[in-house]
Structure 1
Amino acid sequence: MGSPYLALLGAILVEVVATNALKASDSFTRPVPSAVTVVGYAISFYLLSRALQAIPVGVAYAIWSGIGIVLVTIVAWLLFGQKLDAAALVGIGLILAGVVVIRVFSMVDAG
């Protein structure tokens, strides 16, 4: 992957799939979601390692975990009926705001 941010985006998206497959695996008792979880996490960490060649680890991890939290929460709400109260929505908004601040205003960044 050419862009470190493209690799990071791929890592995030694959991690979201793997995390939701983990829920669907029912404690690794269902083979297909279990395999998706294991393979997904391996791919995600590989892509994250590629992103870390150019993006500082703290910045990359903040973006990876922040966006991952938001996306996992949205998918869990859609697929598993996870409830989101006002506090959860405010928290998600703050996480997104933090990611934007890091990405837009951080001076320690990859080009």
Structure 2
Amino acid sequence: MTPTRPYHWFCLLAAILLEVGGSTIMKLSQQWGFAHAALLGLVIMWLCIGLSYYFLALSTTGLPVGVAFAFWEGLGLTLVTLAGFLVLGEQPSLTRLLGLCCVLGGALLVHKGTSHGDDSAATKEARHA
């Protein structure tokens, strides 16, 4: 795995935004009033999801896969839920908001608890001695 650079985080952000955009467009397309709107929404969604996986794969060349996936799912779920509230007119509830806090907290804990391979074993031993 290559060292983590901002590039990897940008790839992860692109993956998240493409996932959220694709999912939101799919749902919005059900409300469009022209022929084959739902099909167009599905095509856009599949394109966005495919690109999302591509960028997720790029992000894992420099980020631990568990960290990348935790953020992809956690932030993706949070942003899709917020899009549901703000764009699609879904109703927030305390339970949903607390669940999102738990998801984001879990992603942060996975990140905090994951070794990024930056420290050698000798450096770790020296710190604990």
TM class, shorter-length? 0.7 to 0.9
Alignment map for 1:60-79 (pairs within 5 Å): 60-79=68-87
Query: 1:100 and 1:8 mapped to 2: Cα distance?
Result: 15
- The match for 1:24 is 28
**Is the 2:21–2:48 Cα contact (8 Å) retained in structure 1?**
yes
* Distance change >3 Å, CA 51–CA 69, structure 1 → 2: same
Query: 1:25 and 1:18 mapped to 2: Cα distance?
Result: 10
1:89 aligns with 2:97: yes
What CA RMSD, in Å, does the superposition of the two structures yield over aligned residues? 2.2
Aligned positions, number = 109
Percent of aligned pairs sharing the same letter: 28
Query: 1:10 and 1:51 mapped to 2: Cα distance?
Result: 9
Query: What TM-score, normalized by structure 2, do the two folds share?
Result: 0.73
Structure 2 gap ranges (5+): 31-35, 119-129
Query: What TM-score, normalized by structure 1, do the two folds share?
Result: 0.84
Structure ID, larger Rg = 2
Offset of residue 77 of structure 1: 0.8
Query: 1:10 and 1:110 mapped to 2: Cα distance?
Result: 24
